[in-house]
Amino acid sequence: MNIVFLGPPGAGKGTMAERVADETGLAHVSTGDIFRDNIRHETELGRKVKELIDHGNLVPDSITIELVQDRLQEADVQLGWILDGFPRTRPQAEALSDFARVDLVIHLDLSDEEVIRRLSGRRVHPASGRTYHIEYSPPKKDGFDDETGEPLIKRDDDEEESIRQRLSVYMSQTEPVISYYREKRLIVDVDATGSIDAVAAKIHNVLEKHAAG
Ligand code: ADP
Ligand code: ADP
């Protein structure tokens, strides 16, 4: 089973993809996490994409498509995958259809107001990608990762100016991907308002319905 999570920045794609991956054993593939790991380790790719990402702009399609194509050939994704953050443009969606099969697209829908609330309170543990929210999903000890005790950070692109840019990029570049999958009748819309548990329950129902055909 291959699933795509679509939705604006901060809608909860990573949080929900992680939960579904834990429940199903599908591999969670987040292009944002892969880029951030490369930035942290100062690889050639990391150096190339850092400025773009920090300012809320997209990494070029050619780079992103090749990265995902390679990732989906690795052994751990052969039972199926959950793509989180890809495809983000129509050319990416078209390229994906050339090298993989998408079974289901879950579109997490959220108002701009709530997006801003979620992103400005988001804190992450850089090494693992574990995500918290200062209000909605706080760590046990303020500012520190539950598992390692290491400090949490606020992503550079979660500052107000980059958030606004990401929302505008989402409208112009990623909304066409929603129409693309709607035409293919692969999309299920999920209202992403409500608590983490409430949204996870809605997604659970969608997956059960899909499995029942
Ligand atoms: P978000 O929390 O906004 O959903 P992600 O972690 O998915 O953020 O992505 C962070 C950044 O990484 C994006 O703003 C963009 O710069 C880059 N990025 C991630 N996925 C893609 C993609 N499929 N195409 C182009 N750029 C991407
Ligand atoms: P995305 O991957 O779409 O950018 P994340 O999964 O990183 O989004 O979630 C953005 C922020 O909102 C995180 O701080 C996360 O803890 C929080 N969050 C995710 N889902 C919910 C929810 N249903 N209710 C409240 N906060 C949420």
Q: Please name which ligand lies nearest the alpha carbon of 108.
A: 2
Would residue 36 show up in a list of annotated catalytic residues for this protein? no
What is the C-alpha separation between 167 and 173, in angstroms, rounded? 10
Would residue 122 show up in a list of annotated catalytic residues for this protein? yes
Phi, psi (deg, nearest 5) at residue 191: -70, 115
Domain assignment of residue 139, given as a range: 2-212
Would residue 202 show up in a list of annotated catalytic residues for this protein? no
Q: Is 10 left (phi over 0), alpha (psi -120 to 50) or beta?
A: left
**Per-residue pLDDT for the chain (213 aa), expressed as one digit of tens each?**
999 999 999 999 999 999 999 999 999 999 999 999 999 999 999 999 999 999 999 999 999 999 999 999 999 998 899 999 999 999 999 999 999 999 999 999 999 999 999 999 999 999 999 999 999 999 999 999 999 999 999 999 999 999 999 999 999 999 999 999 999 999 999 999 999 999 999 999 999 999 998
Ligand 2 pocket check for 139: Cβ under 6 Å = no
Which listed residue (19, 88, 118, 130) is catalytic?
88
HEC sequence for 86-105: CCCCHHHHHHHHHHCCCCEE
Please enumerate in sequence order all residues whose Cβ is within 8 A of that of 69, keeping only pairs 6 or more positions apart, or say none. 95, 99
Would residue 182 show up in a list of annotated catalytic residues for this protein? no
Tell the residue nearest (CA) to atom 11 of ligand 2: 118
Which listed residue (13, 19, 36, 123) is catalytic?
13
Domain count, the chain: 1
For residue 121, what is the domain's CATH number?
A: 3.40.50.300
